[in-house]
């Protein structure tokens, strides 16, 4: 900045820590002024993905709820139909589920089913590897290929010395769903973690 600064004349340009001319005028002009109009706009713009994530499990806007282990998960039929072929088929007029307000789920646990529905809203999965095996089973049942890959990554990354045996025994029933390369890598990593020691 240079020029008149609080009643003094600054002849040579002087480097300041300020990031904009608005800040310079506000700090050094006498009286403090701004060279452009001040507009107060809040930056509370929400993207579509943020809005969908916010509305997941929201009873205020939901038009359907799933009952899993005695707990409700609130969802929107339109989102489910858009994101999942299984639900697109289920909510046809000739299926009884299309007319229900509450759908009971008995074959999957609450954390697994909630994580699946959350995935449909956000494209993310946040589950421990032990629950990811159940989610892998669900993804296979519902033909969700991307979700299967995410579950496989969670399981692969989650193998530790402490859980190798638990994961191996829990995954035994789900191994028919896993491709051969992943199965081989899983067994190798589990053995390196001591899962097969006597």
Segment 170-191 mean pLDDT: 63
pLDDT confidence bin for 36, thresholds 50/70/90: low
More confident residue, 140 or 14: 140
- Residue 159: count of CB within 10 angstroms of its CB: 21
Q: How many whole angstroms separate alpha carbon 192 and alpha carbon 73?
A: 39
- Output the pLDDT for position 53: 94
Please write the tens of the pLDDT for every residue from 50-93.
999 999 999 999 999 999 999 999 999 999 999 999 999 888 86
- Output the pLDDT for position 7: 73
> What residues form DSSP beta bridges with 73?
66
CA contacts within 13 A on the Cβ side of 136 = 26
Asked whether the whole model's pTM tops 0.75, one would answer no
Phi-psi region of 57 (alpha: psi -120 to 50; beta: other; left: phi over 0): left
Q: In the predicted model, what is the mean pLDDT of the chain?
A: 82
What percentage of the chain carries pLDDT values higher than 70? 80
- Output the pLDDT for position 174: 53
For residue 102, the surrounding DSSP H or E stretch is: strand 102-105
Please write the tens of the pLDDT for every residue from 102-136.
999 999 999 999 999 999 999 999 998 888 989 99
Segment 5-23 mean pLDDT: 77
């Amino acid at each position: 900045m240079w020029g008149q600064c609080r009643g003094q004349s600054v002849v040579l340009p002087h480097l300041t820590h300020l990031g904009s001319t608005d800040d310079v005028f506000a700090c050094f002009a006498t009286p403090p002024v701004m060279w452009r109009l001040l507009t107060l706009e809040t930056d509370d713009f929400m993207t579509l993905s943020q809005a969908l994530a916010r509305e997941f499990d929201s009873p205020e806007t939901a038009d359907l709820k799933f009952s899993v282990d005695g707990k409700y998960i609130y969802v929107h039929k339109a989102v489910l139909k858009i994101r999942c072929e299984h639900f697109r088929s289920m909510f046809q007029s000739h299926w009884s589920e299309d007319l229900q307000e509450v759908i009971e789920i008995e074959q999957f646990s609450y954390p697994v089913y909630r994580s699946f529905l959350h995935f449909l809203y956000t494209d993310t999965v946040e589950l421990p590897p032990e629950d990811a095996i159940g989610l892998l089973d669900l993804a296979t049942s519902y033909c969700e290929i991307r979700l299967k890959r995410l579950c496989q990554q969670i399981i692969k990354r989650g193998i530790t010395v402490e859980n190798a045996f638990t994961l191996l025994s829990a995954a035994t029933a789900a191994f028919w769903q896993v491709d051969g390369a992943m199965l081989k890598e899983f067994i190798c990593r589990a053995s390196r973690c001591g899962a097969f020691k006597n």
